[in-house]
Amino acid sequence: MENNSDIKNKTNNTKRKKINVNGSAYTVIYSVIIVVIVAVLLTIASTALKPAQKLNQEIEKKENILKTAGKTDKEKAKTDKEKYISEEYAKYISESFVVDINGNKVVDTNVNKKDAFSLEIKRELIKPEAEICLPVFICKDGEQVRYIFQLHGKGLWGPIWGYVAFEKDLNTIAGVVFDHESETPGLGAEITTEIFQKQFEGKKIDEENSFPIIVQKPGGKLNSHTVDGISGGTITSRGVQQMLADNLKLYKGFINKMKSENNDNSIETNDKNQEQ
C-alpha cells in the first residue's frame, strides 16, 4: 500500500510535468501552432479566391483591349461589367493570333502552348529575337478595322505596359492604354489618365525616326508624330516613348506584311471596279 509520503511525491511530480506558460518553450510552441494555423487558412483562402482573381484579370485585359480600340462605354459597364465587357469583346474582337518577328502567323499550337490572349509580351522580350512571339488582336466594326498590339517597357520605378491600336492603314494610331506598377502619383502615374492617352489618337508613325512617336517636353510645338509628356514625369514619359519604339520595332514584320496585303487588295478592288 502507498503511504501518504508516496502520494505526495506523485502529486509533486505531476505538478512539475505541467507546461510552464510563462516559459520560453511554451511561447515557441504556441507561436508555431498559430503560424501553422494561419498559413493553412491563408492557403485555403488563396485557393478559393483564385478563380475569381483570374476572372477579374481576364475582364480587365479584355476591357483594356476594347478601350484601346475605342469600344467601351463607362456608363454601360457600371451595371454589369463582367457581362458587358465579355459581350463587347465577343462582338468586336473578331480575331486574335500570334505572329513571329517576320509577321508570319505561328500555327504550331505547341509553341509555349499559349494563344494571343494568354501570351504576355514581357516574357517574350527576354527571349532571343528569333523565338519571340507577339500577340495580335483585330477589332472589326462594320467596315472599320483596327489592329491592336501589346506593349511592355520600363518606367522610372518599375515596369510600364499597355496596348496600342492602329487604323487599317497601320500608320495612324486609333488609341492607346497605358498602365504601371509603381510610378509616382501625380507625376509618372499620369500615363494612365485619359488626358495623356487621348493625345495619341490620330498621330502618325514616323517611319524615318528611331522613335516612331516622340513624347516631348510639355509646351513645345506639336506635329503629327509628337505628343506632350508629363510635367515632372520626364523619365516615365521617355519610358513610354522607348516602349513604343522597342515594341513596334518587333511588330514591324507584321505591319509591313499587312500593309502589302491591304495594298494588293486595294489594287485588286480598283481593277474589278474598272472592269465593271
pLDDT tens for residues 7-41?
455 555 555 555 566 667 777 787 888 888 888 88
Residues 29 and 97 in one domain: no
Residues 126 and 209 in one domain: yes
Residues 60 and 177 in one domain: yes
Residue 48 has pLDDT above 90, yes or no: no
Residues 196 and 71 in one domain: yes
Question: Domain boundary residue among 32, 49, 66?
Answer: 49
88 or 206: which leads in pLDDT: 88
Question: What pTM was computed for the model?
Answer: 0.79
Residues 234 and 101 in one domain: yes
Residues 76 and 109 in one domain: yes
Residues 209 and 252 in one domain: yes
pLDDT of residue 75: 66
pLDDT tens-place string over residues 223-243: 999 999 999 999 999 999 999
CB-CB neighbours of 29 under 10 Å:
12
Taking the CA of residue 11 as centre, how many other CA atoms within 13 Å lie in the half-sphere pointing to its CB?
7
pLDDT band at 267 (very low <50, low <70, confident <90, very high): low
Residues 87 and 181 in one domain: yes
Q: How many domains does the structure of the chain reveal?
A: 2
CB 169 within 8 A of CB 256: no
Residues 91 and 31 in one domain: no
CB-CB neighbours of 112 under 10 Å:
17
Calpha distance 154→235 (Å, rounded): 9
Calpha distance 170→146 (Å, rounded): 8
Show the domain range for 42.
4-49
Residues 96 and 120 in one domain: yes
Residues 37 and 167 in one domain: no
Averaged over 210-224, what is the pLDDT? Answer: 92
Residues 63 and 162 in one domain: yes
pLDDT tens-place string over residues 127-150: 999 999 999 999 999 999 999 999
Question: Domain boundary residue among 17, 34, 49?
Answer: 49
CA distances from 154 to 51, 112, 123 (A): 30, 24, 14
